Chain A
Amino acid sequence: MSELDDLYQEVILDHNKSPRNFRVIGGANRRAEGYNPLCGDEVTVFLQVEDGVIKDISFQGSGCAISKASASMMTTELKGKPESAAHELFENVHNMLTGEPGSEGGGARVGKLAILSGVCKFPARVKCASLAWHTMESALKGEPQPAKTE
């Protein structure tokens, strides 16, 4: 039972219920769509990047509580950060979600996102949590194809 409580913590449930930055950025200069073919989760990430800094970031789409909360927390974490920090956080979050050795709990390297660390106990849900991150990464890189978690 504690694993389930770990997964669905209050903060995650709150981000699911009231996702932050859940909107379209009209003139976004970076944008990408992400899709999880396994379950049909869809997300679009919008970014306004100026002089290498993420001035604004938002998302839209449909998915489970984990994918929505992860996307929501990602936007709050990345707003105002330099692009390089976003790449770094992507790597660190990815390692935490997939349970890479040494990434237990996330620690300082993922900040508040450590709350998502419970996901690694649920292998079937890792892709839910990582979808928005893959999509953000692909938007920053300007990749033409929709991001996939596969």
Chain B
Amino acid sequence: MNAVPQNNPGTLASGQFDVARVREDFPILSAKVHGKPLVYFDNGATSQKPQCVIDAIDHYYRAENSNIHRGVHHLSEQATAAYEAARGKLRGFINARSDKEIIFVRGTTEAINLVAQSYGRAFLKAGDEIVVSAMEHHSNIVPWQMLCEQVGAKLRVIPINHDGEIVMEEFERLLTDKTKFVSVTHVSNALGTVVPVKEIIALAHGRGVPVLLDGAQAVPHLQIDVQDLDCDFYAFSGHKMFGPTGVGVLYGRAELLEKMPPYQGGGDMISLVTFEKTHYNVLPYKFEAGTPNIADGIALGVAVDYLRGLDWAAVTAHEDGLLRYATEALGQIAALRIIGTAKEKAGVLSFVFDHVHAHDVGTILDQEGVAVRAGHHCAMPVMQRFGVPATARASFAFYNTIEEIDVLVRAIGRVLKVFG
């Protein structure tokens, strides 16, 4: 995130993260649930929004609302400028080379579908192989299965070990002349594993194979530099990085995007239309058919401003502290088993009990004000790998506190009391 050292309002003089101060920026964090203070540990599903993001949406509809890239009138010019400025902020956020590599989409899912349907249908054929890992979210599995059905390609899966880490030797074995695409997650949503993506990219590029990274769970925790990663595509959602729902980004290397056909046809993605032939617009507009989600795109830019105003060394130390504290505290509960024990993890703690189903855990925690996700986390193959039907998942953000983890531990005590 290339921290911009402004005055770092979220950092104490000691260099420690000032979590109490930062929590004030998020109005929902002072809410009560069932009469108890909300403990929001479902950040992996969606993060909360700071006041500045909420204000940006409000301001847009009050003062700027207009369609972009077409009007000559004042409001349209203003809206266009604000939307394109947001694109520039997102370029800076992931350190892409150019704004034309930043394609606004609805979210990570749409970004991956775009690549599968545009790049995949144009360049993959029968017998080719696509490699994903065993810990992908369904949205990094199903689009490739659909492509496989369409072109006759095959999906190959890199296994994971018992800690929830990619088995690199198996990946090397799967990489063959048939491999034409690799698509892996950067951070696992169900396990929290940080995947050694640079190593994966280097190996794939060694064979000339492009790599897409699903960054949905990575962007709220890690500083992303797509040039340093050397990935070909990077997909992420605004709502998991403290921005609004309904907007996300596909980063693509310009030379690949140039040769890819459009994903959808319509307005904005054309330069000239006749009934004989249509000429497509330049990047990034070639991939942005129809009126986009203007308000939320602008507000996502504001979320980026907010994040870049934080001291990321302090944020990272705070988040590492949360995960370490929670892992130790939950690790002391005899009946509880943590699923996902990779050496490198970010933000996620999945757990199960031998005798209590995750749903029952979720309901009882909720009564204590603690919001966790209970279920398969849209990663059913991960559940199958670990032989569990579902897990309870606490997923953290920088605005969470050690005290909130203590509340979680006490609430788990209540679960064990109910279920004896």
Complex Cα gap A40–B358 (Å): 11
Q: In the complex the two chains form, what is the Cα distance from A125 to B366 in whole Å?
A: 12
A40 touches B389 (CB 8 A): yes
Which A residues between 35 and 87 are near B, CB-CB below 8 angstroms?
38-42, 62-66
Min Cβ gap A80→B in Å is 30
| Chain B interface size range | 10 to 19
Contacts of B360 in A (CB 8 A): 8, 64-66
Query: Does B205 have its Cβ within 8 Å of any Cβ on chain A?
Result: no
A41 & B363 in contact (Cβ 8 Å cutoff): no
Rounded to whole angstroms, the CA-CA distance of A4 and B418 in the bound complex is 9
The residues of B with any CB-CB pair to A shorter than 8 Å are 355-360, 363-364, 367, 374-376, 380, 383, 389-390, 418-420
A4 touches B367 (CB 8 A): yes
Given contacts A4-B367, A8-B418, 5 further A-B contacts (CB under 8 A): A7-B363, A39-B359, A39-B376, A41-B389, A128-B359
Q: Are B419 and A42 in contact (CB under 8 A)?
A: no
Sorted from nearest, which 9 A-B pairs have the closest CB atoms?
Answer: A64-B357, A64-B359, A40-B376, A39-B375, A62-B389, A65-B360, A4-B367, A64-B360, A40-B389
- Complex CA–CA separation, A7 to B376 (angstroms): 23
Flag if B389 contacts A1 (CB, 8 Å): no
Bound complex: CA of A64 vs CA of B388, how far in Å?
12
A positions within 8 Å CB-CB of B: 1, 3-4, 7-8, 13, 17, 38-42, 62-66, 122, 124-125, 128
> Do B358 and A64 have beta carbons less than 8 Å apart?
yes
Distance of B30 from chain A, by nearest CB (Å): 23
Contact of B380 among A17, A40, A65, A122 (CB under 8 A): A40
Given contacts A13-B420, A40-B376, A40-B380, A122 and B363 within 8 Å (CB-CB):
yes
Q: Nearest residue in B to A5 (C-beta to C-beta)?
A: B418
Cβ contact of A13, chosen from B357, B376, B380, B418, cutoff 8 A: B418
Q: Which residues of B contact A8 (CB under 8 A)?
A: 360, 364, 418-419
Residues of A within 8 A of B357 (CB): 63-65
